[in-house]
Structure 1
Amino acid sequence: MAMTTDYATAEPPRADIDDLAGPTVVEFGTAWCGYCKAAQPLIAQAFNNHPGVRHLKIEDGSGRPLGRSFRVKLWPTLIFMDSGREVARLVRPRDVTEIRDAFALIDKTLST
């Protein structure tokens, strides 16, 4: 697994995400969002050290039920999950350190 570069326009059902085993980062945003574009190098840098973490990059917007189920209001929003359970959330990250700190909370599943 590696960082996903494109936002998926088809969103999976929430139940499918909740049922995922292991570490997952769900990223909500859009390709045209300036904040999302600015965060991509930071996200990519953090993912370099976490190739075993699943990355779901989902296009969000008005009327998109998956983003609403996660209470997403601003982009990008990164939700760090461990076997379907949210352990950390970052909104508009501006520093790679905060992304790495969130990864640390789900890293434990890779070593077990």
Structure 2
Amino acid sequence: MPFNRVYIDNEPTRAEVDAMPGPLVIEFGTAWCGHCQAAEPALRAALARHPAVDHLRIEDGAGRALGRSFKVKLWPTFVFLAKGGEVARLVRPTEQEPIDDALALLAPEDNP
């Protein structure tokens, strides 16, 4: 799945996320967040090399159940899931390498 540009505000439930079978990156943030905007190019480039990894971009904020269930405190927070289990997490990444490393844990067969 390609990079999703739009943050969705109709988030799935935690049970729905936990039941997703394939590799998944959930990005918690908002469109107006400067840290989120700064991390976008690195995430976009990294996801382009891992087409088997799904990407959900969730608009987070007070009272948002999914973000609270993952204990999100800062934006952006990237949660890397495989078979419903968290395998990595990045908070406010500033470089592409940590994103690439986390994606490699999800989809090692995609690595060049």
Q: Is the 8 A contact 1:2 1:52 kept in 2?
A: no
2:26 is matched with which residue?
26
Q: Does 1:14 align with 2:14?
A: yes
Deviations 1:72-106 (A, max 9, x none): 00000000000100000000010000100000111
Structure 1: distance between partners of 2:38 and 2:15: 30
Which residue does the alignment assign to 1:47?
47
RMSD (Å) for aligned C-alpha atoms: 1.4
Is contact 1:29-1:59 (8 Å) kept?
A: yes
TM-score calculated relative to the size of structure 2: 0.95
Contact 1:82 1:109 in 2 (8 A): no
Q: CA deviation at 1:48?
A: 1.2
Counterpart code for 1:11: E
| 8 Å CA contact 2:49, 2:110 repeated in 1 | no
Counting aligned pairs with the same residue, the percent is: 54
The alignment of Structure 1 onto Structure 2 pairs a total of residues equal to 111
CA contact (8 A) 1:3 1:51 kept: no
Q: Which amino acid aligns with 2:63?
A: G
Residues 22 and 109, structure 1, Cα contact 8 Å, conserved in 2: no
Partner of residue 93, structure 1: 93
- Give, in angstroms, the shift of residue 109 of structure 1: 7.1
Shift of 1:2: 1.0
Q: Which runs of 5+ in 1 are unaligned?
A: none
Query: Greater CA deviation, 87-96 or 100-109?
Result: 100-109
Paired residue secondary structure (1:36): helix
CA shift, 1:60, in A, is: 0.1
Give the TM-score taking structure 1 as reference length: 0.95
Question: 1:110 offset after TM fit, Å?
Answer: 6.5
> Secondary structure of the equivalent of 1:58?
strand
1:108 Cα deviation after fit: 3.6
